[in-house]
Amino acid sequence: MFLKDYIGTVYKSSKSLLKGMKLTGYYFSHPKKILTEEYPDNRATLKMADRFRGEVVMPHDENNEHRCTGCQACEIACPNGTIKIITKQELQPDGKKKKAIDTFVYHLELCTMCNLCVVACPSDAIAMAQTFEHSVYDKKQLKKTLNKPGSKIMEGVE
């Protein structure tokens, strides 16, 4: 009985070791399966994963219009004070005043790419971009204004 267990152990362990060697041998003999991205060389053809989040951007259409109403939901949702929205009162054609954004300040150096601001936004004004080459020599350059100069809110976005 003991001998049977003993030989069984030897057989099972050799089998599992050979199984492992078979897998690594398969990888070794199939160099096309290599996963390494040669990053700076393949910058032109680089494909990022869909879920990758690089920075917060505010999409503008061709008329330089964005969808941000200045509701500050993203500013409240942000866990570490990355977003600061400065609002202003804008005069409507009918004489009424309406709240609009003056500057959408985004501190990239504080952002953890948690995506909570994008989730919180009621009007899909902001989105996550896949750019990731953010390094700069001066920290001040990481403080970004997301709304383009002279842009205004899109018609019909409340």
Partner 1 sequence: MSLILDIGFAPFASGVHNWVYGMFGNTTIAMIVEMVIAGLSLLVFLVPLCFFLGYMERKVAAFMQMRLGPNRVGPHGSLQIVADTVKLLLKEGLTPDGSDKFLFNLAPIIVVITSMLVLAPIAFAKNFQIWDMSIGVLYVSSISSISVIGILMAGWSSYNKYSLLGAMRSGAQIVSYELSIGLSLISIVILTGSLRMSDIVMSQQNGWWLFKGHIPVIISFVIFIVASTAEINRAPFDLAEAEQELTAGFHTEYSGMKFAMFLLAEYINLFVVSAIAATLFLGGWMPFHIGSWEAFNHIMDFVPSSLWFMGKTFLIIFIIMWFRWTFPRLRVDQLLNLEWKYLLPISMVNILLVTVMAIMGWHF
Q: Which residues bind partner 1 (CB under 8 A)?
A: 10, 17, 20-21, 23-25, 27-28, 31, 33-36, 38
CA-to-CA distance for 57 and 119, rounded, in angstroms? 13
CB of 31 to partner 1, least distance (A): 6
CB of 43 to partner 1, least distance (A): 16
Nearer to partner 1, 49 or 91 (CB): 49
The CA angle 62-68-71, to the nearest 5 degrees, is: 175
Nearer to partner 1, 13 or 112 (CB): 13
Sign of CA dihedral 74, 76, 81, 87: positive
Nearer to partner 1, 1 or 91 (CB): 1
- Report yes or no: 56 and 112 within 8 Å, Cβ to Cβ: no
Nearer to partner 1, 4 or 33 (CB): 33
The CA angle 107-103-151, to the nearest 5 degrees, is: 125
CB of 1 to partner 1, least distance (A): 17
